[in-house]
Structure 1
Amino acid sequence: MIRTIVTDPLSPSHLAFKEVDVPQAMPWEALVQVKTVSLNRGEVKDAMDQEASSRPGWDFAGIVIEPAQSGQGPQKGARVVGLLPMGAWSEQVAAPVSMLVEIPDKLTFTEAATLPVAGLTALYALRKGGMLLGKRVFITGSSGGVGLFAHQLAAQSGAFVVGMASTEEKSKLVKEAGADEVIIGYSAVSSASQFGPYDLIIDSVGGNTLAALLPQLAPQGVCVAVGFSSSNTATIDMMNLVTSGGRTLYSFFLGEELTRHSAADDLRLLAQLATEKRLIPRIEVEAPWTQIGTIARNLLERKYSGKVVLHID
């Protein structure tokens, strides 16, 4: 038997520990002893809405204890990072080798666990803008996990990058991540126009923020909507959008993106960049996974910038 975290509506945190059978790996899956997991606000929010005994969790890092029977993927003893659609908050997981990659020795399990969802989201969203050298990019939610990764990758691509933060303190983090300019306060989003128009906008806020950003797209520009932390509805000025022409609003869902991209190849790239310190995860909190209840609640209340990583005993 192993321990795992499940949803429990009767628990104050809506999460609880439960003993379950050791996972049985399919031929294309490796069995991994999990060392660390990172939390994403989206998965925590989803867990609050799920029925009892659902098993949340996306990002994990650990050691392969049984390689895939197919012979593909990392071998026994390999240090790995990967992601699952659910169930990663567990002592052991069976992970498809297509979602699993070996990590360099210099990369810690803590650093590796931050990469899958936040790193891949940032990477794939930026790719929607094509070659970014000399282009103007605007990123909302800049002090979050996705935002900080996106700023670092965009800056290294040669883009002029503008971010947005809720406070002066958080704006300093965004500057450190490579932003050329930072807009402070979500209500001041219209002031971003002074640095535009933008070839690429990555928005995780939605609502009025998304509506205010669309007119700031350059001709042939793309706005990638990766989330809606403020509101899941937006009133868009269709006359402005249609008469300007050529601009795109792209709906982004990582699960759908992974049907068209190699997660293993791109995780390998992110892991290498992190090893070379060209991509630096900002880890706000490290804690034992026994503190999942408190940590999850604080994450939902936006008390953290960057990433949260839990260590499994």
Structure 2
Amino acid sequence: MNTIRAIVVDPNEEARLKVDEVEAPHPASSEALVRVFAVSLNLGEVRTTTRANAGWRPGWDLSGVVEQPAADGSGPPLGARVFGMVHSGSWAELVSVPTAFLSGIPENVTFAQAATLPVAGLTALHALEKGGFLLKRKVLVTGASGGVGHFACQLAKQAGAIVTALVRREERAACFHNIGLHRIVVGENVVAAQSFGPYDVIIDTLGGKSLNIVTTFLEKGGSCINVGAATEPEMTLQARLESLPVGVLVLDGIGSLTSVSNDLERLAQMVADGLLQPQIDLEASWTEIAEVTQSLLNRRIAGKAVLSIS
């Protein structure tokens, strides 16, 4: 059996994770085999590792080089620099990636930058699209220093919105000054953002009681799109849905199969053009997975953490 190295769940290891030997992937005809150079971590997948069964392989985002093109002729060619996403298992040396979830990396975009884009970037992009036309409209982003929040602030600004970013701590506000946001509000309580409303669109990453409060900041006819529950991580999805205020939209996916690749290309080109700046707070080797995941769970990382695979 051919094997590769990958990060797997092991309840006996620190942070329940370790690099181990696993069976090499066998791509389907519509999948490209990608040699992974970098992955980024998302809070949702990291939280799943704390309760997943032994042997489960985490990982959504990845970037690397095509080692074997898709047999059906779809997707990038051999040797292409690419980035994309899978449902699980991207934290590995080789990954089979559906070409519908894969896009090329522009020359002036790094593997680390590209790896931050799939889950967080697509979530922010599609949440804002649910909000509709944004030119000169007031937009509030809660949890703005997180991966999704940081992208949402920038994308809303690019669309012509008047953006208010809500962050918990002063040190996390610094990253927004160089992207020219209209307002940066610092506070543990979301009420701190009320005075700049009412808002036409709210992108909420916090959920829970904070979500109930911010919905009262909406303009009549405005939209609130919830993309997570950072303040109540143990809440099940069903309980989260049942607790949502009336009228709140929930982002229930990241687009159709036909749109993901195109949207990834849009995001990468914005980075290449200097219109979108991935916030990478930490870069480390994947051998440091235990330390990095603990930092993410303890909310010591603003923006994205990226691991190099070597």
When normalised by structure 2's length, the TM-score is 0.93
Deviation at 1:28, TM superposition (A): 0.3
Give SS of 2:248's match.
strand
- Residue 201 (structure 1) aligns with: 202
- Residue 45 (structure 2) aligns with: 43
Deviation at 1:306, TM superposition (A): 1.1
Deviation at 1:206, TM superposition (A): 1.1
- Residue 158 (structure 2) aligns with: 156
- Residue 108 (structure 1) aligns with: 110
- Give matches, 1:4-19, under 5 Å: 4-19=6-21
- Give matches, 1:92-171, under 5 Å: 92-171=94-173
One-letter amino acid matched to 1:249: V
Select 2:283's aligned residue among 286, 296, 305.
286
One-letter amino acid matched to 2:202: I
* Structure 1 gap ranges (5+): 242-247
- Residue 245 (structure 1) aligns with: none
- Residue 222 (structure 1) aligns with: 223
Deviation at 1:172, TM superposition (A): 2.3
Deviation sequence 1:235-272 (CA, Å, 0-9, x none): 9797xx6xxxxxx311123xx33337611000000000
* Native 8 Å contact 1:8 1:14 kept in 2: yes
CA 1:14–1:236 in structure 2 vs 1: closer, same or farther (change >3 Å)? closer
1:212 aligns with 2:213: yes
Tell me the distance in 1 between the aligned counterparts of 2:243 and 2:96. Answer: 43
Give SS of 1:104's match.
coil
Tell me the distance in 2 between the aligned counterparts of 1:236 and 1:228. Answer: 11
Give SS of 1:295's match.
helix
Deviation at 1:195, TM superposition (A): 1.2
Tell me the distance in 2 between the aligned counterparts of 1:108 and 1:219. Answer: 43
- Residue 258 (structure 1) aligns with: 255
- Residue 249 (structure 1) aligns with: 248
* Native 8 Å contact 1:136 1:200 kept in 2: yes
Tell me the distance in 2 between the aligned counterparts of 1:197 and 1:268. Answer: 34
Identity of aligned residues (%): 43
Deviation at 1:99, TM superposition (A): 0.1
Deviates more, 1:126-135 or 1:167-176: 167-176
* Native 8 Å contact 1:164 1:186 kept in 2: no
Select 1:299's aligned residue among 277, 296, 309.
296
* Native 8 Å contact 2:141 2:204 kept in 1: yes
When normalised by structure 1's length, the TM-score is 0.92
Deviation sequence 1:69-122 (CA, Å, 0-9, x none): 000100100000000110000000000000001111111101100100110011
Tell me the distance in 2 between the aligned counterparts of 1:191 and 1:41. Answer: 25
Tell me the distance in 1 between the aligned counterparts of 2:183 and 2:33. Answer: 45
Cα-Cα RMSD: 1.7
Tell me the distance in 2 between the aligned counterparts of 1:87 and 1:25. Answer: 13
- Residue 275 (structure 1) aligns with: 272
One-letter amino acid matched to 1:228: A
* Structure 2 gap ranges (5+): none
One-letter amino acid matched to 1:95: V
Give SS of 1:50's match.
coil
* Native 8 Å contact 1:175 1:181 kept in 2: no
* Native 8 Å contact 2:204 2:224 kept in 1: yes
